[in-house]
Chains A and B, each alone.
Chain A
Amino acid sequence: MKVLVAVKRVVDANVKVRVAANNSGVDLTNVKMAMNPFCEIAVEEAVRLKEKGVATEIIVVAVGPKEAQEQIRTALALGADRGILVEAADAQPLAIAKILKAIVDQEKPGLVIMGKQTIDGDNNQTGQMLAALTGMGQGTFASAVNVADGKVKVTREIDGGLQTVELGLPALVTTDLRLNEPRYASLPNIMKAKKKPLDIKTPADFGVDVTPRVKTLKVEAPAARKAGIKVKTVEELVAKLKNEAKVIQ
């Protein structure tokens, strides 16, 4: 069974972003970029499925700027077999899902694994949209994935606790934080990854229009909180909460 994994190049999770002075977006000049953390978990899950003999080939796809080749190479170093980069900066989730749908139609994977959201746009849409466009069942926010007998059982993190669903294959899974702990790439594997195949495509190759449907008018910094104070004792804290903040009685 082929497994398709989609990854995205985003700002590193440890960077505190700043809004650009002209309010057009966030300032990403000289900011460290990395693979979206949820996508790392998706790659790891695919690699584990290959190690178990469930997956035969892992194809990693990124839709992004040409620099996203770095993130594809990272995935290849972690164990993916080949990569496809579709060069389109700032494509919105529906357009990305349409590109991925075209790739799914070509590659016919048994399972698609992707992150539940990216930490830049925080949209949490692309996986569900791809599932809709391909007619696949979806197991979103997964904390456990078990493939057996042409089906996949997915345990999902939901607001009230955990839910388990069963999907016929092919199916789509989006990862939550506790699905696995991604490994680090070893140096020999990083070297080997440089030789693995990586195709470069454009949205036009798949007949997808990536013109934004939703226009960003401006991006602003959130309202700042007023500086607080330090209290010295628990007694002082309780007195402040009762008499000053009036949030407890």
Chain B
Amino acid sequence: MSVLVYAEHDNANLKAATLNVVAAAQKIGGEITILVAGAGCGAVAQQAAKVAGIAKVLVADNAAYAHQLAENVSALVAEVGKGYKHILAAATTTGKNFLPRTAALLDVQMISEISGVVNATTFQRPIYAGNAIATVESTQAINVLTVRGTAFDPAAAEGGSAAIENLSVAKDAGLSSFVGEEIAKNDRPELTAAKIVISGGRGMQNGDNFSLLYKVADKLGAAVGASRAAVDAGFVPNDMQVGQTGKIVAPELYVAVGISGAIQHLAGMKDSKVIVAINKDEEAPIFQVADYGLVADLFQAVPELEKLI
């Protein structure tokens, strides 16, 4: 039994999502190896080696992996992963991009976004926007899985001292090149890791009004999200979208402001511990999942909330 975990990182820091994947790997059982693929990613390898319960860290440090291009990374993981029973990555846009490609290279039917490990060959995963949970079994020689981070409590980031081994495998498929990126910068916590998330929907009316939410978020140390409607309307960028096809969050507290609660939005937040809905339409479906519902005009309620917390 051996599990290969693909590290999510930005060449400088190991992303917290990796710790949730390690937790899923621990439930599967067996020796866990973390693979760090990047360029100038030595610091990430050091951090990965400290994660509790890790046997070994493999590092593929090459320009071909600098931007996590799927064509290159998938070939690397397919080659390295051949010797393992399980290959796991986070169900982030990085993992979702390259891991199905790896699975096809290995002729494996992948299992996406597992939310539970029953045993080493049986897993649970949400289907139909989380309106059903499937229990699936795979007896393939290798199981290739992405992991829904919110479903697994993170493994400890410290306490381990795994050996680091360098790989000299350079896989440049020559099929794609990186042109550029626009990464949103803000000082608030990451949506998927925040303890409190406050999200706005179409009811916010425009992007400027999101400042009302930012003020509350900054007082609470919260992240700010949005519904698809708010992103489609151009109020806020895509990286803020919470839902079936956006980010999946499960914070201690989720505050939905001016969000009606379409099935697709609920799919992204209904595992939150406490849900608050503020909406002037008392028939809005969001109230069906809210622990605390407030039927009110958000333009009065949100500034009042900011004063009272």
A residues at B contact (CB < 8 Å): 11, 13-14, 16-19, 25-26, 38, 92-95, 97, 116-117, 119-133, 135-141, 143, 153, 156-168, 171, 176-178, 212-222, 225-226, 228-235, 237-238, 240-241, 245, 247-248
A158-B94, A238-B309 given; A220·B103 CB < 8 A:
no
Q: Are B179 and A164 in contact (CB under 8 A)?
A: yes
Which of B31-39, B45-53, B130-138 lies at the interface with chain A?
Answer: B130-138
In the complex, how many angstroms separate the beta carbon of B12 from the nearest chain A beta carbon? 13
Question: Closest CB of chain A to B86's CB: distance in Å?
Answer: 14
Q: Is the CB of A214 within 8 A of B293?
A: no
* A120:B128 contact, CB within 8 angstroms: yes
Q: Could you tell me if B131 and A222 are in contact, using CB atoms closer than 8 angstroms? A: yes
B104 x A97 contact (CB < 8 A):
yes
| Residues from 145 to 166 in B contacting A, C-beta threshold 8 Å | none
Contact between A26 and B245 (Cβ–Cβ < 8 Å)?
no
Say yes or no: A216 contacts B134, CB within 8 Å. yes
Q: Is the CB of A94 within 8 A of B108?
A: yes
Inter-chain contact A213/B70, CB cutoff 8 Å: no
> Which residues of B sit under 8 angstroms from A139, Cβ to Cβ?
176
Least Cβ–Cβ distance between B202 and chain A, in angstroms = 15
Closest CB in chain B relative to A34 CB, distance in Å: 14
Tell me how far the C-beta of A111 lies from the nearest C-beta in chain B, rounded to whole angstroms: 14
Q: In the complex, are the beta carbons of B92 and A159 less than 8 A apart?
A: yes
| C-alpha gap A233/B274 in the complex (Å) | 18
Contact in complex: B182, A138 (CB < 8 Å): no
Which residue from B113, B132, B175 sits with its C-beta under 8 Å from A219? Answer: B132
The reply to whether A160 and B183 contact each other, CB–CB distance below 8 Å, is: yes
Other 12 A-B pairs with CB < 8 A, given A94-B110, A159-B192: A93-B110, A94-B103, A94-B108, A123-B112, A132-B102, A171-B175, A217-B135, A228-B293, A231-B292, A235-B308, A245-B253, A248-B220
What CA separation (Å) do A229 and B287 show in the bound complex?
9
Closest to A160 in B: B183
B98 at the interface (CB under 8 A from A): yes
Specify which chain B residues have a CB less than 8 angstroms from the CB of A153 in the assembled complex: 179
Q: How far is the CB of B8 from chain A (nearest CB, A)?
A: 9
In the complex formed, the residue of A with least CB distance to B180 is: A164
Q: Are B132 and A125 in contact (CB under 8 A)?
A: no
Say how far A22's CB is from chain B's closest CB, in angstroms: 13
